[in-house]
Amino acid sequence: MPKAAIFDIDGTLVDSVDLHASAWQDAFEKFGHQVSFEQARSQIGKGGDQLLPVFLTKAEQEDHGEEMEAWRGERFREHYLPMVRPFSAVPDLLARVRAAGLKVAVASSAKQNELIKYLGIAGIEELVDVRTSSEDAGQSKPAPDIFQVALGKLGVAPSDAVAIGDTPYDAQAAGKAGLRTIGMLCGGFTEAALRAGGCSQVYPGPGALLACFGASLLG
């Protein structure tokens, strides 16, 4: 029986992946780079420190990488964040996790201010024991830093916790931290991609995980 569940939030608890991809596409265009929506979307789940090197040379990153990431963040907050909606059954799922005696953490590559907004949108502020964001980690996913920080705050061993995420990058990061991962299809990645990333189980979304709770790694 695990002692804690560590949730990603973008694409796992709130429907924001396409919006993040659009904000990145806007930013690339603003700074003179041709990156398609599909290309940007394939990298959502990583923080900017891991995403930018996929599309920019080292010289381009040094020249305008920080400025571009800052512009993207502002663009997302002003234009796209108001469109973010929660997936169904999210508060019910987290309440079920807590009722089973598990602590709940959120480990996200989002900025701290975005994470706070997400918790409000999803209606789960009072259901989360620990929260970690990109500011808490040296590197974002697929590096394990964010999950390692969450484990430290929770005070549990990796073998006593389960990660829940919607991207291969969540599973890769969790695996490096010694965690098993439940994958969610609601973020748009295929089951094959999630399993290749390291997910032990895959469910359509929070409602399905709640319905199958007893048979899941959390149960």
Q: For the chain, what percent of residues have pLDDT higher than 90? A: 91
One-letter amino acid for residue 218 of the chain = L
Number of compact structural domains in the chain: 2
pTM of the model: 0.94
3-class DSSP assignment, residue 178: coil
pLDDT at 134 over 90: no
Q: What is the DSSP letter of 46?
A: B
pLDDT of residue 111: 83
- Domain boundary residue among 35, 58, 83? 83
The answer to whether residues 90 and 196 belong to one domain is yes
Any alpha helices (H) in 31-179, and if so which ranges?
Answer: 37-41, 48-55, 58-75, 90-99, 112-122, 145-154, 168-176
Please state, in angstroms and rounded to a whole number, the distance separating the CA atoms of residues 50 and 48. Answer: 5
Last residue of a domain, one of 83, 110, 127: 83
Amino acid at 91: P
Domain boundary among 27, 62, 83: 83
The verdict on 169 and 190 lying in the same domain is: yes
Specify the length of the chain in residues: 219
Q: What's the rounded Cα separation, in Å, for the pair 153 and 126? A: 17
Domain range holding 89? 4-16+85-215
pLDDT digits (tens, 9 = 90+) for 170-205: 999 999 999 999 999 999 999 999 999 999 999 999
